[in-house]
Amino acid sequence: MFSRLAGAAVTTMLVVAALGLACWFAFSAVSGAALITFRTGSMSPTMPQGALAVSLPVSASEIEVGDVITVQRAGEALPVTHRVIEVGKVRDRAANEADIRAAAPGGPPPDLTKPGAREIVMQGDDNDAPDHLPYAITDARKVVFSLPFFGTILMMMQTPIATGALIVSVGVLVVWAFWPKASRTEDEHGAEDAAPHHPRHTSSKHSVGVR
């Protein structure tokens, strides 16, 4: 009985996990959704270090003050996810000024001549001052949902040791749950063989001679 329940539980978990992944991949393909892991505490306490967030692509003209967006400056290795505190038109900059162009992570440098281009100022919720330079963008990624600690779990699961341990654990669990057990017939035969045997007594009639 226990092995049946364990097998059913393992099957249910595997099916739910597979359906969850399939739904996420389908949603991501349709909407362009992506996962963001917060590696620092600059957005604490709303999105603390180790949080996991879901982001969607958004054009610069749709961004409003208070939105949490992710952009990556041209030439920088890591993106920045902070809260927007100011939105305005892109102003002309001198040739010797710093390059403030930014885009959604993985995207090409923005064309700031487009009507929808914006210049934004961002600041982390836990930071005392805004980012040192504004961002000139035409698109970005907007955070729509976040969960604390799940980013840390995801990063741990992406390490080779954790991935190998997960595969081995699931394999052992599946093998244990579905390992063939003795059939009921064999059990019954075994019980019958183990039961004590009592000899049967048969009555016989003897003819008695009469003198």
Lowest average pLDDT, out of 12-16, 21-25, 120-124, goes to 12-16
Domain boundary assignment for the chain: 59-146
Helices (H), 44-202: 150-157, 160-178, 184-194
Whether residue 96 contacts residue 65, with contact meaning beta carbons closer than 8 Å, is answered with no
pLDDT of residue 62: 95
**Average pLDDT of the residues in 89-112:** 89
Q: Which residues contact 16 (CB under 8 A, 6 or more apart)?
A: none
* pLDDT of the residue at 177: 66
CA distances from 126 to 44, 51, 107, 131, 149 (A): 5, 14, 27, 12, 17
Q: What's the confidence (pLDDT) of residue 208?
A: 43
Q: Which two tokens stand for residue 76?
A: 């920088």
Looking at mean pLDDT, say which of 13-17, 28-32, 79-83 comes out highest: 79-83
Q: What is the pLDDT of residue 162?
A: 63
The average pLDDT across 166-185 equals 66
pLDDT category, 205, cuts 50, 70, 90?
very low
| pLDDT of 92 | 86
Confidence check: pLDDT of 132 > 90: yes
Instruction: Please state whether 75 falls in left (phi above 0), alpha (psi between -120 and 50) or beta.
Output: left
Q: Which residue, 107, 7, 5, is CA-closest to 60?
A: 107
**Short-list 146, 91, 155, CA closest to 118:** 91
Beta bridge partners of 73: 102
Cβ within 8 Å of residue 157, ≥6 positions away: 163, 166
Q: State the helix-helix crossing angle for 150-157 and 160-178, rounded to 10 degrees.
A: 90
pLDDT greater than 60 at residue 8 = yes
Report the pLDDT value the prediction gives residue 184, as an integer from 0 to 100: 46
Distance CA(54)–CA(145), nearest Å, equals: 5
3.40.50, 3.30.70, 2.30.30, 1.10.3470: which CATH number matches 59-146? 2.30.30
| Cβ 136 vs Cβ 90: under 8 Å | yes
pLDDT at 145 over 80: yes
Question: For the residues 157-176, what does the mean pLDDT come to?
Answer: 71
Query: For residue range 40-84, what is the model confidence (pLDDT) as tens digits?
Result: 889 999 999 889 999 999 999 999 999 999 999 988 888 999 999
Predicted local confidence at residue 209, as pLDDT: 45
pLDDT over threshold 70, residue 136:
yes
